[in-house]
Structure 1
């Protein structure tokens, strides 16, 4: 049985290069220290309407936006409950796409998987072949497979699904939205969601989802749907009150307001460009010293999964870099823990800050 380990205040600060959580600006952290207020006060309406409408502006979408106190996992459940009556197609190519399929299984849906080797990307033609063979209520796909560093071609997949009007398209963009530009309205996406602790560079605790009009109408036609993450419940309450239907994590929403202003000032396009530059630098460094785990041409823009071709002790390297340089990156996921390691280059990082980490890895690993 796990025993209590007392939380103290004597931990050294570490710079985070994880696939999330990531670094948060000081003024964003400070925003959480404002005096508390009630979630049914006018001040809450001002706060929630601000972050919802600012998010729509940043993402450049006409879709509705829901922001809930939850992890992104909430929208795996709620989009499945809201949109899937019986059958769902989920291509799996890593730990998180497999988990998305498993969630739908647990919810009693008939899940048809297209299984890819870890490190390979989902192919739009495979989605088309399945849609030609069977009727599905929805296709669920991961845009950025955090476990393998693969960026799936969501735009092309969305264009395929859009040709099948009775099938809805759900996208998990948890580890990339805000750091990898996507035109949501252009590619038939009915719901796309993320968590704030990833490329949004905010504290953990909020989940964000956009909802198309068609997805909203689909839920209205169903006999059952998610209660907490129901599109109708969330969006109708917002239209009436400008608030959330249940008590939210107000301090984190205050942080969200501050950070979203920074993101709007930078612009989505410039934020995308900065993440491209970080990704290109990290890939070039990985090719020079190791190798890249993801399929060529499908590398993530926010997290690079590096193949351990040098046979270094990954766990020891991660630990030593943390102890000697106060920088934290990640070993490979699951069975890939020693075969690979991952560098998160998302949020407020720059090429300069990523270079500090790669220099530290070189020193510790003797490269």
Structure 2
């Protein structure tokens, strides 16, 4: 049985290079210290409509958008309940895409998997082949944009174009660890639902999830009897249209921080922010190629999380611990028991730059004797 470990007040500050949470600006954190106010006050309407409309502007979408107090994981459940009557095709290539499939199974849906080995990417032509050859009608095709367990960036744009050929099938994208750091034209590529957690590339404290929903997906949810209560599209968007607020009490302090951070994101721009992340990803891949190898299939590497294969045979756990203790920097080992010491991961997302990523790689070189 787990025993209480008293929380202390003297923890050293660690610079975060894990796949999330990531670094947060000090002035964004300070926004959370404002005096509390009621979630049904006019001030809340001002706050919530600001962050919703600013996020739509940043993402360049005309679709519906909600920001809820939740992890992005909430929308695995909500999108399944809202859109799937019977059958869902889950493309799986790592831990998080597999979890999405598991959630659908727990909700009683018929789940078919289009499975790939960890490190491989989902191929649009394979999705087309399944949709063409199956005798089932799939209500939803799901895909993870950025499989952070393996460092794979799936080609969701091309997959969305394929799913568009099947108008009664909806395309749901988990972009938890990519949105805000990897440009995607949501409206152009038939993405019916795409969601993210703000503690990743948005560079926010944990606690909020962003979800973009097409009109078609909204209309589909209205006709179902099994829609999610908390993450229901109709409930969220109708309340927003009437009141400009969330239907349930939100984490107001984090939304205040979000307002501040989104102003920074708007100043940088969606493509500008993506370009900066691309530069960090390129630097990290070039560095990794000097000493190791990249784990993902070539050409499908993530723009926000590098998964690096430990071909040099370093002590991954020991290196992580020593870098943490000597440099006050935190990066991540391979995901779970599958990749463990075989890989390690660097989160180059949020407010990091090439220079700050170089600080970490220099520390790894020093500790590991590279």
Report the TM-score range of the alignment, normalised by the length of the smaller protein: over 0.9
Aligned to 1:291: 293
Give the Cα–Cα distance (whole angstroms) in 1 for the partners of residues 68 and 59 of structure 2: 17
| Distance in 1, Cα, partners of 2:339 & 2:143 | 22
Q: Distance in 2 between matches of 1:223 and 1:13?
A: 48
Question: How many angstroms apart in 2 are the aligned matches of 1:36 and 1:277?
Answer: 40
Q: Does 1:162 align with 2:167?
A: no
Q: Within the alignment, does 1:54 sit opposite 2:57 as a pair? A: no
CA shift, 1:123, in A, is 0.5
- State the distance in 1 between where 2:160 and 2:251 align: 33
3-state secondary structure, aligned to 1:112: strand
Superposed displacement of residue 198, structure 1: 0.1
In the superposition, the TM-score normalised over structure 1's length comes to 1.00
Distance in 2 (CA, whole Å) between partners of 1:280 and 1:250 is 37
**CA positional deviation for 1:222:** 1.0
Aligned to 1:127: 127
TM-aligned CA deviation for residue 282 of structure 1? 0.1
User: Could you say which residue in structure 1 is the equivalent of 2:187?
Assistant: 185
Could you list the per-position Cα deviations for residues 132-177 of structure 1 after superposition, in whole angstroms to 9, with x for gaps in the alignment?
A: 1231000010000000000000000000000000000000000010
Q: In structure 2, how many angstroms separate the alpha carbons of the residues matched to 1:119 and 1:70?
A: 28
Shift of 1:359: 0.1
CA distance in 2, matches of 1:110, 1:231: 22
Question: How many pairs does the alignment contain?
Answer: 367
* In structure 2, distance between residues paired with 1:82 and 1:220: 8
SS in 1 for 2:141: strand
2:201 alignment partner, SS class: coil
- 2:343 aligned partner: 340
1:104-119 correspondence runs (5 A): 104-119=104-119
Alpha-carbon displacement from aligned partner over 1:296-322 (angstroms, at most 9, x marks no partner)? 000000000000001111011001000
Q: TM-score scaled to structure 2, two decimals?
A: 0.99
Corresponding position of 1:242: 244
Asked if 1:71 corresponds to 2:40, the answer is no
* CA apart distance, 1:224: 1.9
Q: 1:32 aligns to what SS in structure 2?
A: helix
Give structure 1 stretches of 5+ with no counterpart: none
* Residue of 206, 212, 215 corresponding to 1:213: 215
Cα drift, residue 12 of structure 1: 0.1
Deviations, residues 165-194 of structure 1 (Å, cap 9, x unaligned): 000000000001000000000000000000
Partner Cα distance (1:51, 1:64) in 2: 13
Q: Of the candidates 171, 174, 194, which is equivalent to residue 173 of structure 2? A: 171
Paired residue for 2:11? 11
Identify the residue that residue 329 of structure 1 maps to in structure 2. Answer: 331
The answer as to 2:266 corresponding to 1:227 is no
Q: Point out where structure 2 has 5 or more consecutive residues left out of the alignment.
A: none
Of 277, 280, 289, which residue of structure 2 is paired with 1:278?
Answer: 280
Q: Distance in 2 between matches of 1:221 and 1:99?
A: 27
CA distance in 2, matches of 1:26, 1:61: 29
Q: Secondary structure at the residue paired with 1:169?
A: strand
- CA deviation after TM superposition for structure 1 residue 223, in Å: 1.7
Partner of residue 356 from structure 2, selected from 341, 344, 353: 353
SS in 1 for 2:40: coil
For the pair 1:143 / 2:145, whether they are aligned, the reply is yes
Q: Quick check: 1:204 aligned with 2:206?
A: yes
Instruction: State the 1:221 CA deviation.
Output: 1.1
Distance 2:355 2:225 in 1: 53
User: What is the SS of the residue equivalent to 2:130?
Assistant: helix
Partner of 2:322: 320
